[in-house]
Amino acid sequence: MFGRLKQAVSSATNSVKDGVNNAVDGVSNATKGMLEVIEWTDYHPNMLVKRVPESGPADIKWGAQLIVREAQCAVFFRDGKALDVFGPGRHTLETGNMPLLSNVVKHVSGGHNVFTAEVYYVNQSVLTEMKWGTPNPIDMKDPDLGWVQLRAFGTFSVKIEEPQLFVNTLVGAQRMYTHQTLNNFLKGSVRTKLNDLVGTTFESYAKIRSNLDEMAAAMKIKVRDDFGKYGIELRDFFIQDVSVPEEIQEAFRLRAKMGALGMQGPAAYQQYQAANAMRDMAQNEGAGGG
């Protein structure tokens, strides 16, 4: 009898041990692979946004360390929605500093001290030497020169001021976003605004050439609002040159010469030609008399 009782107790004890071991194994498997340190380790100045991990949403341990470098921020996303944002520094992830995410996932999810999210690191340094230009010329009706084709180029600088808006509107589900990708996108906006400005506020090539700074200031106002829709702040905008084909340049220089000689109006060109003919005749007579 005592033998059977001892065997029953031993069997019950082993069952309890197995249950405990299985529970421990369950917790271990549930937490395996979760992130305990989050950092943008392969940072490069050309890269503006990087998703961590690259594969997408991952399990993150409450109490994990988040490392954000200078001129960066980290935006937590869950189910496609931007939640908490962290600036530079080393942060311990806890409910107190992640109120938005905490409301979504609760502190303990599924019995484990873990939550699921993805982190988008955003480069918030000022991006200088962003280039723009007109690969196709802009047609403009000049009051003096007729239809002319303008080409222009310059630079501008920007900063990603609203990272959540930037990621939502431009980055989307991409795992990274580069300086060149942003530059290519913004150049299109600049060209559109330049088309709008040419022929209205600046209706002649002469006015454009003599007011490049004023034109750049007008472009900055137009472009700034457009960039703002994507969370981008326009810092500076420069026009380095506006040009026309060589034959138009020659006509422009000719008109400048005629203006300097006081020749104005529709008959100015004929007056200029007559003056040149008289000059050539005088030179020829002088040469013949010698």
Residue 20: pLDDT band with limits 50, 70, 90: very low
249 — pLDDT class (breaks 50, 70, 90): confident
- Of the two residues 100 and 180, the one the predictor is more confident about is 180
Q: Is residue 225 pLDDT above 90, yes or no?
A: yes
**Is the model's pLDDT at 17 over the cut of 50?**
no
pLDDT value of position 261: 53
Whole-number Å distance between alpha carbons of 46 and 123: 9
Tell me what pLDDT residue 24 has.
30
Extract the tokens encoding 112: 């484990």
pLDDT, average across residues 207-233:
95
pLDDT at 31: 46
Q: Is the pLDDT confidence value at 202 over 90?
A: no
b/e burial code for range 152-176 (CB count within 10 A of at least 16 → b):
bebebebbbbbbbbbbbebbeeeeb
Please say whether the beta carbons of 163 and 87 come within 8 A.
no
Taking only the tens place, the pLDDT of each residue in 66-123 is: 999 999 999 999 988 889 999 999 999 998 889 888 887 764 455 468 889 999 999 9
